[in-house]
Structure 1
Amino acid sequence: MSFALTDHWVWDFWHADDGDTHHLFYLHAPKSLGDPELRHRNARIGHATSTDLHHWEDHGEVLRPGAPDDFDGTATWTGSVVRADTGLWSMFYTGSRFLSPYEVTNVETVGRAVSYDLTTWTKFPLEVSANPRWYETLSDGTWHEEAWRDPWIHRDSQGLWHMLITARAAAGTSRDRGVIGHATSPDLERWSVQPPLSAPQAGFAHLEVLQLVTIDHRPALLFSCDTKHLAGHREQSGMGGGIWAVALDSDTLDRPIDLTSATKLTDENLYAGRAIQNRTGQWVLLAFENAHHDGTFVSGISDPLSLHWSPDGTLALSHTPTTVGASR
């Protein structure tokens, strides 16, 4: 295990590289809560740094929830970090607001924080929400949450910024509505919600922790979906969940993304995978260590696993961990 905390659970994370140092931003919650399922209502964002992706120095919490009535009034969830041409770093993150302490009902909204040094972050007035014209909202009554989370920011060759979002379509079989939500911006400040980049009925109730990345000159989409959120033909086939990948023809996002060819990189013992390029130029996958084989939650982030393109055109790991969650 590459990164873990003694007194806190660690799970979803994202990465920024300033050219000298790798910066890890991670979700954490105190183990004193007792039940790992409670971590989602108590998530905060922490920060750690590394020069080799193996050894990390923790710097503690950098972002926490707002006031109870704010869009991030309950918890701060997964995001991504990008740098504008001005040098200003932006963290787009998920704000979660649970409507009751006794129910799972919650509303998710994308917000923004800014920094010049990746260490001190200030919340910036911005809220991007699901547009009911295209996306399922809580008022539809078809799902337990208003899914609009895990923003991934991508800049195309024309300079337009794209936000890829975990979302659900406004129509379709209620369970099988997982889609790639989409918004665009010319400047990281003004965002316009667009129709989904994928179609529902792809076999996923949700596509979490999206990442669009070009690996060895070939674009790929990574996402995660666990077994209990597979749907349609994927659920009926009895396959398990995990980290998934789709090879793309282009990263311009000017055409729909077909998810029918999605293949698994790992089972759900690893989750929320991120493809990262190390200092030698090699592409590796980091993921959080999700579950022991008996189903208990592990916590912590894996050592890097080498990524490569297989002869059949699918993304694959060069090796997989032999013992997930083993102590070191």
Structure 2
Amino acid sequence: MDQRGFFRPPNAWVGDVIPWEEDGRFHLFYLHESRQVPRIGMPWHRVVTDDLVTFVETGPALPSGGPDAADFNVYTGSVVVDGGIHHVFYTGQNPERIGADGLPLQVVLHATSDDGMRTWVRHPDDTFGATPGYETADWRDPFVFRDDEAGVWRMLVTARHADGPERRRGVIAQCVSHDLRTWEAAEPFWDPRRYIAHECPEVFEWNGWWYLVYSEFSESFTTRYRVSRSLHGPWQVPENDTIDGRAYYAAKSAARDGRRFFFGWISSREGGRDDGAWQWAGTLSVLEAEQNADGSLRFHPPLELSAGFGERLDSAASGTVLSAPDGYADLVLPTDLPAAFRVDAVFDIAPGTTECGLLLRASADGDEAYVLRLEPRRNRLVFDRWPRRRTGGEQWQISGDVPHVIELERPVTLAPGPHRLEVVVDGDLCVATVDGSVTLSTRLYDRTDGRVGAFVGEGTATVLSLEITGPSTTAVPAASLDDALVSS
């Protein structure tokens, strides 16, 4: 794909990402989803990037084990290095192999590389399934890390208790090892009895704080995190514990030069339509995390992505006042925009204002558009669109009782005063950020062109700045990735 700062392989989609940083380069292993029917077995592919903007696919990394193998589907796992040898631990699943609970068995498998992750050797004798007390069909996403204080390797595993309420059996199970070959069951790492499952778990330490990250699909479909002063908890729930909204999933992280980046996927929608059902897998998207004093995190796209937009396309006059004490007012800029652009807007929101925000790919009169709406009275950002879905031909048969796209709502503090709303649109992708701390990612399918506007509803908002830029005409140098292509 041509999108800069995002990645999707030709004729396929990016599933869960397994990030690994080494010598300044990010190696992003990912589940390569072809959506072929009949299924052909899930492999890992690898993408590399130095700048978080240019991604180079190096091809298959860990192929399907074949139709008869335990790892017909190669699902999520993790990478570690020990003594110069790279190890991957990953999930294997074969629909033809049924566990004790009557569902397709999931097992943990092991492979190693001694040539810099170019080739991998499987170790089938190291394979193991769920330990006693857990469902055999949910034993996946092994995350391995070194606990130097205890002198052991720890493995976190997405699991479910064998008994208990059906939707609250989720647990992060734990195994320990001294040699990365033999694993013993240990006490659960985290057992809240709250979710169906905690997918793609990871833990890391950052400036004296420990973080537990996981993705859940119970009440919400999202990636969450917890924070603690100790690897062993107790784990605290931050005020806003989600990384993004419904469309961004299975995010896992890697660090470089004191910065930490999360690599997840923006889900596609069935049929490439705004009303299509969300699908598993989509397009790789990167978010950067920053720390607050209390250990909580704020999220935004990497600065490298924003820096790639430098060609001025349009702007609004600074100080433009949009005022409608008991109504609606908007300003639509005159330029029809290309497929990729960035909006950087600052609104000074007056006390008592109900809503304000941006119109994307708007009609000339602003009546039809995608809408990013800041709602100070509810302290949230929502994604909306007009026209909404129609259920019939009558004027009243429109989804006016749906306040916004329900899954796309983000909590954010919106006290009176200035607030910054940054948006990157590239083709059907959209990533919005409020005040450099709260992100909302989604898809824009049905409207492929149009203008940008600003609006206010029941109140006053002063547009302190509104700048629209396009991708820089200067190409990003790719020479630093040449050796990755040669070595693939």
Give the TM interval when normalised to the shorter protein: 0.7 to 0.9
- Change in Cα spacing, 1:100 to 1:155, as seen in structure 2 (3 Å) is closer
- Change in Cα spacing, 1:26 to 1:173, as seen in structure 2 (3 Å) is same
1:288 counterpart = 2:250: no
Structure 2 letter corresponding to 1:63 = L
The question of whether the paired residues in 1 share the 8 Å contact of 2:198 and 2:214 is answered with: yes
Structure 2 letter corresponding to 1:119 = R
Q: Which residue of 1 aligns with 2:414?
A: none
The question of whether the paired residues in 2 share the 8 Å contact of 1:136 and 1:168 is answered with: yes
The question of whether the paired residues in 2 share the 8 Å contact of 1:16 and 1:22 is answered with: yes
Q: Which residue of 1 aligns with 2:442?
A: 324
SS of 2:167's equivalent? helix
Q: Which residue of 2 aligns with 1:141?
A: none
The residue correspondences of 1:1-328 to structure 2 (distance < 5 A) are 1-33=5-37, 42-72=41-71, 74-84=72-82, 86-99=83-96, 105-116=103-114, 117-125=116-124, 126-132=126-132, 134-137=133-136, 146-158=137-149, 159-201=151-193, 203-226=194-217, 230=218, 235=219, 240-251=220-231, 253=232, 258=235, 263-278=241-256, 280-292=257-269, 294=275, 295-297=277-279, 299-302=282-285, 304-318=286-300, 321-322=431-432, 324-325=442-443
- Write the distance in 1 (CA, Å) between the matches of 2:135 and 2:192: 11
Return the TM-score normalized by structure 1: 0.80
SS of 1:175's equivalent? helix
Shift of 1:10: 1.2
- Write the distance in 2 (CA, Å) between the matches of 1:32 and 1:68: 15
SS of 1:13's equivalent? strand
Shift of 1:20: 3.8
Shift of 1:208: 0.3
For residues 161-193 of structure 1, give each alpha carbon's deviation from its aligned partner in whole angstroms, at most 9, with x where no partner exists. 000010011332122100001110001111112
**Could you list the runs of 5+ residues in structure 1 that have no partner in the other structure?**
138-145
- Change in Cα spacing, 1:42 to 1:91, as seen in structure 2 (3 Å) is same
Structure 2 letter corresponding to 1:271 = Y
- Write the distance in 1 (CA, Å) between the matches of 2:260 and 2:298: 11
Structure 2 letter corresponding to 1:306 = E
SS of 2:283's equivalent? coil
For residues 207-265 of structure 1, give each alpha carbon's deviation from its aligned partner in whole angstroms, at most 9, with x where no partner exists. 00011112333110111012xxx1xxxx4xxxx330100002212x4x6x657669222
For residues 44-64 of structure 1, give each alpha carbon's deviation from its aligned partner in whole angstroms, at most 9, with x where no partner exists. 110121112221111111212
Larger radius of gyration: 2
SS of 1:190's equivalent? coil
- Write the distance in 2 (CA, Å) between the matches of 1:265 and 1:219: 16
Shift of 1:107: 0.8
The question of whether the paired residues in 2 share the 8 Å contact of 1:211 and 1:221 is answered with: yes
Return the TM-score normalized by structure 2: 0.55
**Farther off after superposition, 106-115 or 210-219:** 210-219
Question: What fraction of aligned residue pairs are identical, expressed as a percent?
Answer: 27
Greater per-residue strand proportion:
2
The question of whether the paired residues in 2 share the 8 Å contact of 1:46 and 1:60 is answered with: yes
- Change in Cα spacing, 1:214 to 1:54, as seen in structure 2 (3 Å) is farther
- Write the distance in 1 (CA, Å) between the matches of 2:41 and 2:244: 27
- Write the distance in 2 (CA, Å) between the matches of 1:217 and 1:275: 17
Structure 1 letter corresponding to 2:87 = S
SS of 2:243's equivalent? strand
- State the aligned residue count: 293
| Cα RMSD (Å) | 2.7
Q: Which residue of 2 aligns with 1:143?
A: none
- Change in Cα spacing, 1:247 to 1:168, as seen in structure 2 (3 Å) is same
SS of 1:52's equivalent? coil
The question of whether the paired residues in 2 share the 8 Å contact of 1:94 and 1:109 is answered with: yes
Shift of 1:284: 2.1
- Write the distance in 1 (CA, Å) between the matches of 2:228 and 2:11: 40
